[in-house]
Amino acid sequence: MNRGVWKSLAATPLALACFLLSGAGQAAEPQAPAKPDLARGQAIASQVCAACHAADGNSTGGAYPKLAGQHSEYLYKQLVDFKAQPGKTPARNNPIMAGMVAALSDQDMRNVSAYFASQTAKPGAARNKDTVPLGEKIYRGGIAEKGVPACAACHGPTGAGMPSQYPRLSGQWAEYTAAQLVAFRDDTRGNNAPMHTIGGRLSDKEIKAVADYIAGLR
């Protein structure tokens, strides 16, 4: 700052105090991320993600999750968690996904997340009518004796989730949902402490039932 300005402010303590409290002269705050570019996101989806998740995010089988219609904030967080950092194990350790996101910039991850969020998810269906009652009980009421809360409490009655906090579950492949619950239980997926606790209290039968029920939510 110009020396003359400092002298002028110093001569009037009140003016100097106001100047400092206003934040003038401080370092600029980090810029907010640029608005997502859906066209760029679509290009990334087609070039990098389509082989497993399909170009529109509606994967064709339960080995890979449906991404269409998922909350962009949730997708972005998962990509960040997959991305390896120097000297650190990724928060979500998956060698395949680590390789996929390695070359993506932070803005690229925001772009592709927003693109998939803008797509329409194809509905799924429960396939095992014998386990639907158990799956519904767990999803809507939890298992009190095991300390398992209702899935609906966080993910909503229709499985729509809540942006930036809880992912959309409705219509997701039952095989994928079950695999994630097992991974949380077995601590092979470690980027969500509450789900690790919940998964650890569910049996294989309960996991399969609630995952199949979730697939039919809409």
Give 72-95 pLDDT, tens digit per residue. 999 999 999 999 989 999 999 999
Report how far residue 79's alpha carbon sits from residue 102's, in angstroms, rounded to the nearest whole number.
10
Per residue in 147-171, pLDDT tens? Answer: 999 999 999 999 999 988 899 999 9
The structure's pTM equals 0.85
Report percent pLDDT > 70 for the chain.
86
Report how far residue 180's alpha carbon sits from residue 188's, in angstroms, rounded to the nearest whole number.
9
Per residue in 96-144, pLDDT tens? Answer: 999 999 999 999 999 999 999 999 999 999 999 999 999 999 999 999 9
DSSP bridge partners of 88 = 85
CA distances for 188 relative to 91, 95, 98, 99, 178, angstroms: 11, 13, 15, 18, 13
Task: Output the pLDDT for position 6.
Answer: 46
- Give the model's confidence band at 33: pLDDT under 50 very low, under 70 low, under 90 confident, else very high: confident
The pLDDT mean for the chain works out to 90
Report how far residue 183's alpha carbon sits from residue 165's, in angstroms, rounded to the nearest whole number.
19
